[in-house]
Amino acid sequence: MTAFRDTWHYLTTAANWTGDRGMLHLLEQQLLLTVTALLMAMVVGLPLALWLGHLGRGGFLAINISNIGRAVPTFALLALFVTADFPGVREFGPYGRAGLATLLALALFALPPIITNSYVAVREVPADVKQAADGMGMTGAQKFFRVELPLALPLIASGVRLALVQVWATATIAALVAGPGLGRVITDGFFRTNYGKGIAGAVVVGLVALVLELLAAGLQRLVAPSHHGSSPNRDPGMSVTGSSVAVEAG
């Protein structure tokens, strides 16, 4: 009970939320890390996955890139980046110490769900719908933007939503290399046996993850409503993994 009481005291003490080392500032840092890393992954992963899905080939490449990304621990990537000459642990603007290394590690971590879901989403557009578009004389670009992309949006949005929450939760590892984010509260608390502080940091991370999940779910329903061609057997809120679909090697 002492730990819970200390946690509540830490969370309700205004001084712990203010200043450069306050939780509010560290929360802002972690949100910035999360959003930037997610955008980096989307810029790289979405065009590649959508293009391969539109071509109907390259599935072996897309799925196996994702599987490799899942197999390599994010902290291992971060450790490699911070020990290399570049990007190292140098300051990177508002991202702080080891900011670029953390961004790269998190962006690579976000790629698997984005690539897998986006590839599968376009690949699974019904063949008869594609044939109808061809019969109407649509060009490849017209068929993609008018037919395939609208039907694929629910599953694409699901991958981005999954990546967002995963990256937010994983961003706490930046503290292991003295980087930015709420992980510093958690590691410092447990290192100094101030368990109330460490648990408080973990509670804030968990609550923000829940808020991000709810916001992402709401945005997903706005940009990719279920009536946009979702198959009755497909739940747009569910993630697709490489092992759950049969992919024909390109």
- Domain harbouring 162, CATH code: 1.10.3720.10
pLDDT digits 0-9 by tens, 152-209? 999 999 999 999 999 999 999 999 888 889 999 999 999 999 999 999 999 999 999 9
Q: Is residue 89 part of a domain?
A: yes
**Mean pLDDT, range 2-21, rounded to an integer:** 91
> Domain residues for 229?
2-8+23-244
pLDDT digits 0-9 by tens, 101-135? 999 999 999 999 999 999 999 988 998 998 898 88
Read off the tokens for 105.
């590690």
C-alpha 42/C-alpha 130 separation (Å) is: 25
Read off the tokens for 198.
């460490």
Q: Is residue 67 part of a domain?
A: yes
C-alpha 58/C-alpha 122 separation (Å) is: 12
pLDDT digits 0-9 by tens, 27-53? 999 999 999 999 999 999 999 899 988
Q: Is residue 168 part of a domain?
A: yes
Which residue type is seen at 151? L
C-alpha 92/C-alpha 99 separation (Å) is: 5
pLDDT at 246: 35
- β-pair partners for 97: 91
Q: Is the pLDDT of residue 236 over 50?
A: no
**Could you report how far apart the first and last alpha carbons of the chain are, in Å?**
58
pLDDT at 68: 73
**Which has more pLDDT, 80 or 244?**
80
C-alpha 180/C-alpha 171 separation (Å) is: 9
User: Cis bond leading into 87, ω under 30°?
Assistant: yes
At 178 the three-state DSSP class reads: coil
Q: Is residue 18 part of a domain?
A: no
Give the global pTM: 0.84
**Which has more pLDDT, 217 or 232?**
217
Q: Is residue 78 part of a domain?
A: yes
Rounded alpha-carbon distances, angstroms, from residue 56 to 52, 53, 60, 109, 246: 6, 5, 11, 25, 13
Rounded alpha-carbon distances, angstroms, from residue 234 to 49, 155, 224, 248: 19, 9, 13, 20
**Which has more pLDDT, 227 or 189?**
189
Q: Is residue 28 part of a domain?
A: yes
Considering only 87-91, 154-158, 204-208, 228-232, which range has the smallest mean pLDDT?
Answer: 228-232
pLDDT at 71: 72
Average pLDDT over the chain, rounded to an integer? 85
Helices (runs of H) and strands (runs of E) counted in the chain? 10, 0
Query: For the CA atoms of 179, 43, 47, 157, what is the dihedral angle to 10 degrees?
Result: 80
pLDDT at 208: 97
**Mean pLDDT, range 218-247, rounded to an integer:** 51
CA neighbours within 13 Å on the CB side: how many for 183? 21
Structurally, how many domains does the chain consist of?
A: 1
Q: Is the pLDDT of residue 229 over 60?
A: no
Which residue type is seen at 167? V
How sure is the predictor about 1, in pLDDT bands with cuts at 50, 70 and 90? Answer: low
Residue whose pair of structure tokens reads 């599935």 in the numeric block = 59
Give how far the C-alpha of residue 126 lies from the chain's centroid of Cα atoms, to the nearest Å.
Answer: 28
pLDDT at 75: 86
How sure is the predictor about 226, in pLDDT bands with cuts at 50, 70 and 90? Answer: low
Q: Report the percent of the chain where pLDDT is more than 90.
A: 53
DSSP conformational letter for 98: T
